[in-house]
Amino acid sequence: MRDNYTLKLKNLNNDVIAMGNLCIDLIDMSLKAIFNSDANFQDSIVKKNNKAKRCGSDIENSCLSLLLHEQPVASDLTLVTTALQIINDLNRIGEQALNIAEIVRNLKYRDEELLFLIEDMGSHVIKMLHMTISAFVNSLSDENTKDSDEDRLNLIDTVIQYDDEIDKDFFTIKNKLISLIKFNDENLGSSILDLFMIAKYLERSGDHTSNIARHIKTALL
């Protein structure tokens, strides 16, 4: 019985990591969609997001099953409750990526400088997600030492601070868009709004990643 319980916890840990990696893929694919108008590529993003949502539902069901049938205590309970918090933010990140892909599908105005600024911003979000997942990997294991927990806390603090860089990216893009509105044809209004929303969705993804890092930090303290 104990082996089965331990396996469930291990699978839960692995599923959260897998969902995090799916969200990294989604952000990456949504950015590539800016430069790739192939309809099949767009469809693959939708399929990937559906997979991420199914993964989130499976994690939620696993957490509820553990809470109802296993009644975990101490660090095990922390893992379960933290996983429930994390998947909520991961689901939001997946939705933001899908929103970006949907906008890109019909994007008409393509200012190269702006698109590369957006791509750079997205790469910062991906970096944050990678660091956050690294911090989560086995972060609540009983085998962790004080030093390893300190390393994870330092990594998490880096993620939280890195969110400021995402905000700076967003304001750089917003100011560039404002300049375009002032000095260019009014007909660009709709396209400029589309570009603004892409940047906004990336900024929100950074916020959700920062939330995940805070959940993990709370669990470790």
pLDDT band at 138 (very low <50, low <70, confident <90, very high): low
Distance between terminal CA atoms of the chain? 30
Which residues neighbour 198 within 8 Å (Cβ) at sequence distance 6 or greater?
34, 100, 103, 104, 118
Distances (CA, A) of 10 to 13, 50, 194: 5, 24, 42
The amino acid that residue 36 corresponds to is N
Predicted local confidence at residue 153, as pLDDT? 86
Question: Is the model's pLDDT at 1 over the cut of 80?
Answer: no
The phi and psi torsions of 154 (rounded to 5 degrees) equal -65, -40
Q: What is the pLDDT of residue 3?
A: 73
Distance CA 208, CA 221 (A): 20
DSSP string, 115-150: HHHHHHHHHHHHHHHHHHHHHHTTTT-TT--HHHHH
Per residue in 85-111, pLDDT (tens digit) is 999 999 999 999 999 988 888 777 777
- For residue 156, CA distances in Å to 32, 92, 190 come to 27, 20, 38
Between CA 167 and CA 173 the distance in angstroms is 10
Confidence band, pLDDT 50/70/90 cuts, at residue 186:
low
Q: Give the least confident one: 2-11, 24-33, 52-61, 86-95.
A: 2-11
Per-residue model confidence as pLDDT tens digits over 46-75: 899 999 999 999 999 999 999 998 888 888
The pLDDT mean for the chain works out to 86
pLDDT of 21 > 90? The answer is: yes
> How far is 83 from 13, CA to CA, in rounded Å?
8
Residue 17 — very low, low, confident or very high, per pLDDT cuts 50/70/90?
very high
Which burial class, exposed, middle or buried, applies to 190 when counting CB atoms under 10 A from its CB (0-12, 13-18, 19+)? exposed
Share of the chain above pLDDT 70, in %: 91
- Whole-angstrom distance, CA of residue 219 vs CA of residue 141: 11
The more confident residue out of 141 and 57 is: 57
Least confident among 4-13, 145-154, 171-180, 210-219: 145-154
Helices of type H across the chain: 2-34, 39-65, 74-105, 112-136, 146-183, 189-220
Q: What is the pLDDT of residue 146?
A: 56
